[in-house]
Amino acid sequence: MTDSSTTSVRPVEPTDEPRWRELFRGYREFYHLPESEEIVSRVWGWLMDSAHECQGLIAEADGRIVAIADFRRFSRPSTGTVGIWLDDLFTDPQSRGAGSGRALITRLQEIAADEGRSVVRWITADDNAQAQVLYDRIATKTNWLTYDAKPQGL
């Protein structure tokens, strides 16, 4: 468990479902993704399936869940290593700036070190300036651009 002044981090548990759903919906809304309870339920199912690659962390402050992070391991053929990919990080807007995002990323760095992983990596929108203030302090911005291609026939 990672502790900063009042923030603790732990794995997501089944009893976290209502608050996790609320925060995950907030994450999707922040990135202007369409509302979809089907997707929210699917991702929650992944997090509760120990055989699925996705895992989740919860940040709590004063006994309240204030942030979530969903992550997975990924192979890095160019280096022959495995890293940790942070897919989703979202902090309740009323709790931002209090250290929960930093605590979640720090915990992922600890997991990476414990498992011998090579990197913790994530992307964010180029206009997500508030998050980038933190990210620029704790990580190195890369020069890689991200591209998305639709599967053939779609």
* Two structure tokens written together for 78: 């160019």
Q: Torsion-angle region of residue 122: left (phi > 0), alpha (psi -120 to 50) or beta?
A: beta
Other beta carbons less than 10 A from residue 72's beta carbon: 14
Helices 100-115/129-138 angle, 10° precision: 40
Structure tokens at 125: 């929108």
Stretch 11-16: mean pLDDT, rounded? 98
Q: How is domain 2-138 classified at the CATH fold level?
A: Aminopeptidase (3.40.630)
Summarised one tens digit per residue, pLDDT across range 88-114 is: 999 999 999 899 999 999 999 999 999
29: which DSSP letter? H
Any idea where the domains of the chain sit in the sequence? 2-138
Provide the whole-model pTM. Answer: 0.91
Report pLDDT digits (tens) over 54-83. Answer: 999 999 999 999 999 999 999 999 999 999
**pLDDT tens per residue across span 117-140:** 999 999 999 899 889 999 999 999
Confidence band (pLDDT; 50, 70, 90) for 4? very low
Inter-residue contact 59 to 7 (CB < 8 Å)? yes
Output the pLDDT for position 1.
Answer: 46
